[in-house]
Structure 1
Amino acid sequence: MGEAIVVGITDAAVARRAVDWAAQRARERRRPLELVTVVGGAVGAVGEDSVLAAALEEARERVEHEASRIAADGLVVRTRVERGNPVAKLVDASADAALLVIGSDYPGQGSRAARGAHGLRIAAGAHCPVVVVPDADAAGRSGVVVGVDGSPVSEKAVAFAAAEADRLGEPLIAVAVWTPLEAPRNMGSYPAEYLENMEKLTAEALALSLAGLGSRYPDLEIVRKVERGYPSQIINGLAGSARLTVVGSHGRGALARFLLGSISQEVLGRLATVTAVVR
């Protein structure tokens, strides 16, 4: 994993939000920032050369404009213009990055349209953590929400979220969600003992996942939440008032690396705030 924070730039308005988020983090972490824009769609048709040349020139102007807009306070900014498939090129760029930041034109809670497939594929296939910035104002929001399920990738998500919460001076809101088995129709209500044990086991797993954070980040406020329900709904409910949300990707192996776990995909599909996907 490299040192640079890479930002995917498009002509969408949300690109500026993504650049601003990444630039702020790069300054605070003292990391270089690389702005990447990709011109795709070329198929080699007759007469395409002039169109492609104009598109590349426009892309260079766009990325250079963004670089000059944020260059300040000693921030090192590099730019790159690529040709090809935008998903593949950004996934490739993530191989040498500390973090990949992309924008989403999804305007947040209340919108009926779910996030498109390109962003999900980038988040699933990237070699480093991916931050997705929605086209919504997060002013006045507080807290870093992290979904915890006790898996190895969840541990990485907790570590990422704790570092971000400490950096931002925000509380870490760690949420573990338990979902009871679907009760048979002839069963009636759940046994009280079963529900109590499910909640207890989830609380214990959450405590174990958070062990050691207090000593590493002595000033970090940690809010523990054990909720009954469906994970993505609970996480997005909390994310609606949060500054950042962190989830883990459960991709495994050459093929599965390009697939998000269902919970991560559902969280990104209804993007409630700036959201990081950690693998």
Structure 2
Amino acid sequence: MAHLIEASADAALLVIGSDYKGPGSGPARGAHGVRIAAGAKCPVVVVPDIDLGERSGVVVGLDGSQTSEAALRFAAIEADRLGEKLIAVSVWTPLQAPRNGLAVYPDLYLTNMQSATEEVQALALAGITSDYPDLEVERVVERGYPSHVINERASSARMAVVGTHGRGALARFLLGSISQEVLARLATVTAVVR
């Protein structure tokens, strides 16, 4: 593992395999993949033992952060290169409020969360259509938990792309929780981008 992380310093891309066969095939896998993706200095692609067969599209998780912008660029390049549709996924999760155990939210709150997430996604995608005029882009904005929604969409896609966060000394072997959860339950070939 340390040799791969060290080698990533001079690499444009690091590709590693996984014997994980997808959701429903047993316990979550990927401790080494998670550690390598967290420590690598370049994008890491993890390839599970899954038949891509009739799958199509490149799914990318967007949250408006700089790392998700890098993930978007990577995903757009791959989708364009492969002649696949880009599926931009943005997910919002309602805040847990004390004494709201039944999770009842006012309609205005839910509508505003959906609208705000749609705006963040639209801003992120603004330059993609001009940079890749032939690229078909499907926009998905929904309520849920990000890693679940991304992996659900990725289960029928050729590739998924997510961003990771910070590289400080403390964060060296940590990924963002969403990236880690997506890698733990690989639904397709998955790229983790800085």
Could you say which TM-score interval applies, normalised by the shorter chain? over 0.9
Q: What's the TM-score once normalised by structure 1's chain length?
A: 0.67
For residue 201 of structure 1, what is the aligned residue in structure 2? 116
The alignment status of 1:275 with 2:190, answered yes or no, reads: yes
The alignment status of 1:117 with 2:31, answered yes or no, reads: yes
SS in 2 for 1:235: helix
Are the aligned partners of 1:183 and 1:190 in contact in 2 as well (CA < 8 Å)? no
**Which residues of 2 match residues 241-260 of structure 1 at below 5 A?**
241-260=156-175
Q: What's the TM-score once normalised by structure 2's chain length?
A: 0.96
SS in 1 for 2:20: coil
Q: 1:116 to 1:244 in 2, by over 3 A?
A: closer
For residue 9 of structure 2, what is the aligned residue in structure 1? 95
Pick the structure with greater CA Rg: 1
Q: Displaced runs of 4+ in structure 1, greater than 3 A?
A: 183-188
SS in 1 for 2:170: helix
Name the Cα RMSD after superposition. 1.2
For residue 161 of structure 1, what is the aligned residue in structure 2? 75
How far is the alpha carbon of 1:111 from its aligned partner?
Answer: 1.6
Q: 1:186 to 1:119 in 2, by over 3 A?
A: closer
How far is the alpha carbon of 1:187 from its aligned partner?
Answer: 7.8
How far is the alpha carbon of 1:133 from its aligned partner?
Answer: 0.1
Are the aligned partners of 1:106 and 1:134 in contact in 2 as well (CA < 8 Å)? yes
- The alignment covers a number of residue pairs equal to 193
Unaligned runs of 5+ in 2: none
Unaligned runs of 5+ in 1: 1-86
For residue 14 of structure 1, what is the aligned residue in structure 2? none
How far is the alpha carbon of 1:234 from its aligned partner?
Answer: 0.3
Query: Which one scores higher on RCO, CA 8 angstroms, separation ≥ 6?
Result: 2
Provide the identity percentage.
Answer: 73
Separation in structure 2 between the aligned mates of residue 151 and residue 136 of structure 1, nearest angstrom: 30
Separation in structure 2 between the aligned mates of residue 268 and residue 228 of structure 1, nearest angstrom: 21
SS in 2 for 1:220: coil
Separation in structure 1 between the aligned mates of residue 85 and residue 189 of structure 2, nearest angstrom: 16
**Which residues of 2 match residues 11-22 of structure 1 at below 5 A?**
none
Are the aligned partners of 1:124 and 1:251 in contact in 2 as well (CA < 8 Å)? no
Are the aligned partners of 1:251 and 1:258 in contact in 2 as well (CA < 8 Å)? no
